[in-house]
Structure 1
Amino acid sequence: MVSTSATGAGSQAIGFVGLATSHPYTDADTVVARHPDASLHVWEPDEDRLVAFLERNPGARSYESLAALIDADVHGFVITMRPPDVSDVVLACVATGVPLFINKPAAATLKQLDALDRVVQPIAERVLSSSVLRFANPVREFAAGFTRTEVLTARATVRHDVGRWLHGSTDWQDDPDTGGGGIVTIGLHGLELLASLLGVDFEIISSMAQVRRLQGLRSEDTAVIAVRWADGILGTIDVVGVAASESYGVSLETVNGPISLELPAADTDPFGYRGAIDAFLEMVDAAREGRRVASPVAWHETRAILRGIVTASALAHRVAN
């Protein structure tokens, strides 16, 4: 296994537990961009993914095992594992007492979510797990532009091509029980956007999925999810897994007319990656300085969103997971 020396012993030391998706590579870029003196530490059992990370971050230090990384005295962990492994990995990291950032999706089934919930509940204040989109400045600005009582209906549209699954690139994500398929992996962003704007007092009414274009998928390349909030707001999430480019949209029908948001927008942080990492690093700083650590997304909110999206997947596939 390749290994290099860590740098910046007196600065933030961030441990990357797993490199299962593209997100931790981007997260590492963001950490270094925001804190050039930060040191990166990584454990990943897949040699190719590890080498790619170390080539991108030549100053990072790799570890032969998760236990070795946990013993490395880092200040925070970015966890990116396949959903069936997340709860066990979080449990292994609990004793360190440092903040944890769990990349999405943290669970792909209700069983996985229940296992994770039992682990996270006692340490919820120092756990952040969220789609990065809610941290994008345009989303925050959009949220300030309407009053909830004015909203009649809501719609989120998520466009993110999943054709790579047919060619072996993170194809485990195409398995509804392992990665969640199109609904969990892609649709989560749509539910996260709506929940961040309208709250988590919702229920999933129905969910339908199809393979319209990408024959051979185990999950779906299109889906429609119906959502209802407790006060009567009705919503839908359109999941489009056949797309030339990645984009996310929200449209609200209000008593004053329609309002909408499209990402990426003209912003320095169009998808919220920087905002999400900044929020996590603030948790890290608070822990290092002995201040109270408070996740910017409460666990009960994350849990509701995860439960909603895995329920949508279960409904679409007609399984009791």
Structure 2
Amino acid sequence: MMFGKSFEGWGAWHCWAIAMVVVQMVSRSALAEEPPVIRTGIVGCDTSHVIAFTKALNAEDAGDTYLGVRVTHAFPGGSPDIPDSRDRVGKFTDELKGLGVVVVDSIESLAPHCDAYLLESVDGRVHLEQFRKIAHGKPVFIDKPAAGSLAELLQIFEIAERTDTPVFTCSSLRFCEQVQSLVSDPAIGELTSATASSPYKIEPHHPDLFWYGIHGMEALHTLMGQGCQRVSRVETETMGVVVGEWSDGRIGIFRGYKSGPSYSDAYTFEVVGAKGVGHTHGFGGYEPFLLEVAKFFRSGEPPVSPEESLELFAAMEAADVSKAREGRAVELEEVMQQARHQVAKLETTEDE
């Protein structure tokens, strides 16, 4: 009888022990499946994006929304000849410190502490040299404008290929719900034309559309897809209009507002498809875009190809040429050839 009680007690204890082992194994398995933190370094603290992105990615309630991506370090940078950079870099750097981000005094100092990079400098002209310093195989997102010229963007992608560094660039408008809902709406069908508008602020050190018009241009090219062959541009005191002709005969139109609608109301998107039409407006926030960046940091697979970005930048540069030619249509291939020639000339000079 005593033996029986002892056996029953041992059996209960044994079952409990096995249950605890199973619980621990499941817990360890769950922990193993949790994504490790991707330590992210910011290059350039002179844009409001660094605050918005850091607050979203590092939010206490973010959980695994952004797949473990966290901003941990930052290099301030800054361009003294651009007021939007010079007058804001100190303020945004201090805000980042208040959010717990460690600020370093050189781009090179980021490398030991970071698994991925957000290249955020508001000045596109400095991106090429900054990218050279971080192109060592870790994923890099380059914020708009990706470069100061089409030729510089070509060089960035060449460096990325040579160093096996995953990279992509885009405006956050590409992934906003207002644009993506039109891209994926089966009721609209295959798009025959699209119109996109955005604020249109010009910065004198950049091609006209690079600074803010890029938001509307990126949305337009997202809606239309690749295949833009030529563009023409009309400019007035209040608006800039770019008309793009696609290889299959479709037409895409960008409207840039220099004045008029408020920031949010200036973003409008209209499409005509084989089955119907669609219209949205506004900007729904950075969350869909940041999720694409997080997926990219984890997989190394860019959601936007170099070819897509190069076509967009060729269209924006061609629009400047069209303006100089009083609105005449300019082939994208013309500006692409000029950019390739510039890069080849630079490479020849460097080899001498």
TM-aligned CA distance change 1:192 to 1:32, over 3 Å: same
Alignment match, 2:221:
195
Alignment match, 1:311:
318
Runs of 4+ in 1 over 4 A off after TM superposition: 146-150, 317-321
Q: What CA distance in whole angstroms lies between the structure 1 residues aligned with 2:315 and 2:40?
A: 31
* More helix, by proportion: 2
Q: What CA distance in whole angstroms lies between the structure 1 residues aligned with 2:142 and 2:322?
A: 25
TM-aligned CA distance change 1:161 to 1:153, over 3 Å: closer
Find the residue that maps to 1:64 and give its secondary structure: coil
Find the residue that maps to 2:94 and give its secondary structure: helix
Alignment match, 1:87:
128
Maintained 8 Å contact 2:245/2:251 = yes
> Deviations along 1:34-90, whole A, 9 cap, x unmatched?
3698342111134852443332542111111112223x3301110022222111111
Q: Is 1:67 the equivalent of 2:80?
A: no
Alignment match, 1:186:
212
Q: Is 1:107 the equivalent of 2:135?
A: no
TM-aligned CA distance change 1:109 to 1:283, over 3 Å: closer
Find the residue that maps to 1:104 and give its secondary structure: coil
Maintained 8 Å contact 2:46/2:92 = no
- Bigger relative contact order, structure 1 or 2, given CA contacts below 8 A and separation 6+? 1
Alignment match, 1:240:
257
Find the residue that maps to 1:87 and give its secondary structure: helix
Paired amino acid for 2:277 = P
Which has the larger displacement, 276-285 or 57-66?
Answer: 276-285
Q: What CA distance in whole angstroms lies between the structure 2 residues aligned with 1:296 and 1:226?
A: 26
Q: Find the partner of 2:53 among 20, 27, 36.
A: 27
Maintained 8 Å contact 1:107/1:306 = no
> Deviations along 1:134-176, whole A, 9 cap, x unmatched?
2123322221214887433221121x264xxxxxxxxxx611x
Structure 2: state its 5+ residue gaps. 1-35, 79-85, 326-334, 340-352
Structure 1: state its 5+ residue gaps. 1-9, 163-172, 213-221, 265-269, 287-292
| Match runs of 1:285-304 below 5 Å | 285-286=298-299, 293-304=300-311
Q: What CA distance in whole angstroms lies between the structure 2 residues aligned with 1:151 and 1:296?
A: 21
Larger Rg: 2
TM-aligned CA distance change 1:68 to 1:32, over 3 Å: same
Find the residue that maps to 1:174 and give its secondary structure: coil
Q: What percentage of residue pairs aligned between the two structures are identical?
A: 19
Q: Is 1:140 the equivalent of 2:180?
A: yes
Q: What CA distance in whole angstroms lies between the structure 2 residues aligned with 1:256 and 1:279?
A: 29
Q: Is 1:174 the equivalent of 2:203?
A: yes
Maintained 8 Å contact 1:18/1:80 = yes
Q: What CA distance in whole angstroms lies between the structure 2 residues aligned with 1:98 and 1:125?
A: 6
Q: What CA distance in whole angstroms lies between the structure 2 residues aligned with 1:297 and 1:201?
A: 15
TM-score if structure 2 supplies the norm length? 0.69
Alignment match, 1:41:
73
Equivalences, count: 275
TM-aligned CA distance change 1:86 to 1:314, over 3 Å: farther
